[in-house]
């Protein structure tokens, strides 16, 4: 199918189930995007002629009004006829580029054998992010920015923290291991993502594994700071063993400062018993599912981390009677997905 951007002489084609975004990037077009999986809304565009098919529901990233006006998420839309799209997304791209913030490395520390914490300091204006959002981090030698969730609330102090998994051959990972000395430069794109808590003090139930703890820590920190009303909260953390629990010190500190006495419950589900953690459950999340959701049937549920864990947990919750609109999911897809 031919895809034409209004006002531009060039058009490009898409093949089979290829999305508008994938086709645009293959053709070298300057199309704005962030997550590539229908979560951030940065690839949105308005189809002014022709038909597309949505791979997934565009809501809640697009409103019903926007969908009615012809807006689609280019990373989730497949052309079923030749299409023409409005060029207004180019303005969004320029605005987003201007919104990129310069920063330097403040500190890097190992949290687990596979996970590091990166603390950065903004050198000019700092972005304002909502706990739960993520941003694209760019470093020298990286063509596509890598998405990482803010692991700290926005305190307005010019610092931000990220929790990052190490891939032996990952490009950002290699920079973090070899080049991220104090003062090394990086760029942080605009905050993305639709996750935010509501002010009504619904209980909060969080499921996470690995670096999925990052947005959870940011959200818990915001509740402790008073930005959100206090509420009961259970955080379920799945890990191999104690050595692989990232952010444990910060979680325990937040539990002592929680605005409701004993209101933050930490539940560890460990697949190995090598170094015992008091009160930890053993085995798989689903061996204990009833216990993990007990008392939280009306909660807002945040699920963050590897896509497999997120999807399985989402299914488990729906089967246990939770409604889709209770669930906030944060899939940590790799850059190439
Ligand atoms: C919304 C969102 C939030 C995220 N938040 C976080 C976070 O807080 N912390 C975190 O650690 N991660 C997070 N991620 C995931 C992170 O962005 C990716 O894991 C990222 O790709 C890591 O970058 P890298 O440069 O280190 O590794 P990459 O260079 O991207 O490589 C990662 C792995 O993929 C392999 N690979 C590369 N290309 C291909 C290919 N074509 N086919 C198959 N395998 C390939 C590499 O060999 C390597 O093993 C998030 C992702 C999203 C979408
Ligand atoms: S890139 Fe399409 S919604 Fe994020």
- Domain match, 324 and 234 both: yes
90 pLDDT tier (thresholds 50, 70, 90) = low
Indicate the average pLDDT of the chain. 90
Q: 6: Cβ–Cβ under 8 A, 6 or more apart, which residues? A: 48, 84, 85, 86, 87
Q: 67: Cβ–Cβ under 8 A, 6 or more apart, which residues? A: 58, 59
Distance from the alpha carbon of residue 14 to the mean position of ligand 2, in angstroms = 18
171 pLDDT tier (thresholds 50, 70, 90) = very high
> What CATH number corresponds to the domain at position 172?
2.40.30.10
Between 252 and 143, name the one with better pLDDT. Answer: 252
Ligand nearest to the CA of 24: 2
Between 15 and 98, name the one with better pLDDT. Answer: 15
Residue 235 lies in a domain: yes
Using CA atoms, how far residue 171 sits from 30, 120, 126, 137, 165, in Å, is 22, 18, 25, 12, 12
Distance from the alpha carbon of residue 168 to the mean position of ligand 1, in angstroms = 11
Ligand nearest to the CA of 310: 1
Q: Which strand (E) or helix (H) includes residue 176?
A: helix 171-178
Nearest-CA neighbor of 25 among 310, 336, 236? 336
Residue 79 lies in a domain: yes
Q: What is the pLDDT of residue 136?
A: 93
Residue 336 lies in a domain: no
- Domain match, 111 and 80 both: no
Cis peptide, bond prior to residue 60, ω within 30 of zero: yes
- Domain match, 31 and 144 both: no
Backbone angles phi and psi of 9, in degrees to 5: -75, -30
Residue 155 lies in a domain: yes
Would the pLDDT of 67 be above 80? yes
pTM for this predicted structure: 0.80
- Domain match, 275 and 239 both: yes
Q: Where a domain ends, among 41, 76, 95?
A: 95
- Domain match, 212 and 165 both: no
Q: What is the pLDDT of residues 279-317, one digit of tens each?
A: 899 999 999 999 999 999 999 999 999 999 999 999 999
Cis peptide, bond prior to residue 23, ω within 30 of zero: no
Cα 328 to Cα 299: distance, rounded to the nearest angstrom: 11
User: How many other CB atoms sit within 10 Å of the CB of residue 97?
Assistant: 13
31 pLDDT tier (thresholds 50, 70, 90) = confident
Residue 324 lies in a domain: yes
Ligand nearest to the CA of 114: 1
Residue closest via CA to ligand 1's atom 41 equals 336
> What CATH number corresponds to the domain at position 43?
3.10.20.30
Q: What is the pLDDT of residue 94?
A: 57
Q: H helices within 205-300, ranges in order?
A: 213-225, 248-257, 289-293
Q: What is the pLDDT of residue 117?
A: 98
- Cβ–ligand 2 distance for 36 under 6 Å, the answer yes
Among 24, 25, 31, 35, name the best residue to mutate to test ligand 2's pocket (greatest count of ligand atoms within 8 A of Cβ).
35
- Cβ–ligand 2 distance for 35 under 6 Å, the answer yes
Q: What is the pLDDT of residue 333?
A: 87
264 pLDDT tier (thresholds 50, 70, 90) = very high
Please give the average per-residue pLDDT across 43-48, as a whole number. Answer: 90
- Domain match, 178 and 89 both: no
Residue closest via CA to ligand 1's atom 44 equals 336
Would the pLDDT of 224 be above 90? yes
Q: What is the pLDDT of residues 110-148, one digit of tens each?
A: 999 999 999 999 998 888 898 999 999 999 888 789 999
Residue 337 lies in a domain: no
Cα 302 to Cα 324: distance, rounded to the nearest angstrom: 11
Q: What is the pLDDT of residue 61?
A: 82
Q: What is the pLDDT of residue 215?
A: 96
Residue closest via CA to ligand 2's atom 1 equals 36
Among 19, 73, 331, name the best residue to mutate to test ligand 2's pocket (greatest count of ligand atoms within 8 A of Cβ).
73
Q: What is the pLDDT of residue 89?
A: 63
Q: Which atom of ligand 2 is nearest to the CA of 75?
A: 2
Distance from the alpha carbon of residue 44 to the mean position of ligand 2, in angstroms = 7
Would the pLDDT of 62 be above 90? no
| Ligand 1, CB cutoff 6 Å, lining residues | 35, 39, 134, 146-149, 162-165, 167, 169-173, 211, 214, 332-336
- Domain match, 183 and 82 both: no
- Domain match, 219 and 303 both: yes
If one counts the domains in the chain, the total is 3
CB 3 within 8 A of CB 24: yes
CB 105 within 8 A of CB 120: yes
Residue in the block written with tokens 């940590």: 332
Would the pLDDT of 55 be above 60? yes
Cα 235 to Cα 231: distance, rounded to the nearest angstrom: 13
Would the pLDDT of 261 be above 90? yes
Cα 108 to Cα 105: distance, rounded to the nearest angstrom: 8
CB 182 within 8 A of CB 119: no
- Domain match, 246 and 294 both: yes
- Domain match, 214 and 311 both: yes
Distance from the alpha carbon of residue 298 to the mean position of ligand 1, in angstroms = 33
Domain boundaries, position 75:
2-95
Residue in the block written with tokens 């791209």: 93
Percent of the chain predicted with pLDDT > 70: 96
CB 112 within 8 A of CB 243: yes
Distance from the alpha carbon of residue 61 to the mean position of ligand 2, in angstroms = 9
Of 75-84, 193-202, 321-330, which range is least confident? 193-202
Cα 118 to Cα 97: distance, rounded to the nearest angstrom: 23
- Domain match, 213 and 308 both: yes
Return the SS3 of 135: strand
Ligand nearest to the CA of 145: 1
- Domain match, 212 and 322 both: yes
Q: What is the pLDDT of residue 25?
A: 87
């Amino acid at each position: 199918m031919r895809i034409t951007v209004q006002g531009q002489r060039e058009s490009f084609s898409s093949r089979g189930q290829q999305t508008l975004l994938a086709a645009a990037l293959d053709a070298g077009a300057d199309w704005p995007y962030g997550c590539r999986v229908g979560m951030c809304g940065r690839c949105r565009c308005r189809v002014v002629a022709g038909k597309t098919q949505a791979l997934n529901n565009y809501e809640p990233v697009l409103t019903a009004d926007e969908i009615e006006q012809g807006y689609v998420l280019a990373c989730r839309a497949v052309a079923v006829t030749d299409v023409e799209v409005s060029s207004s997304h180019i303005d969004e791209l320029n605005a987003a580029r201007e919104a990129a913030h310069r920063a330097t490395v403040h500190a890097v520390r190992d949290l687990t054998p596979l996970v590091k914490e990166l603390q950065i300091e903004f050198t000019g204006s700092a972005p304002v992010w909502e706990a739960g959002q993520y941003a694209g981090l760019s470093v020298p030698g990286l063509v596509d920015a890598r998405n990482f969730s803010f692991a700290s609330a926005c305190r307005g102090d010019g610092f931000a923290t990220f929790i990052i998994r190490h891939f032996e051959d990952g490009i950002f990972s290699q920079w973090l291991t070899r080049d991220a000395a104090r003062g090394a430069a990086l760029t942080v794109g605009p905050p993305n993502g639709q996750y935010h808590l509501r002010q009504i003090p619904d209980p909060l139930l969080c499921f996470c594994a690995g670096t999925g703890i990052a947005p959870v820590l940011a959200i818990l920190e915001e509740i402790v700071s008073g930005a959100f009303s206090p509420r009961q909260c259970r955080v379920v953390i799945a890990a191999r063993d104690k050595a692989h629990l990232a952010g444990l010190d910060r979680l325990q500190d937040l539990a002592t400062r929680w605005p409701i006495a004993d209101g933050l419950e930490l539940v560890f589900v460990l697949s190995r018993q090598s170094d015992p953690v008091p009160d930890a459950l053993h085995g798989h999340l689903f061996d204990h599912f009833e216990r993990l959701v007990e008392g939280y049937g009306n909660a807002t549920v945040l699920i963050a981390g590897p896509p497999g864990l997120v999807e399985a947990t989402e299914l488990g919750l729906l089967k246990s009677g939770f409604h889709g609109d209770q669930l906030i999911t944060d899939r940590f897809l790799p850059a190439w997905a």
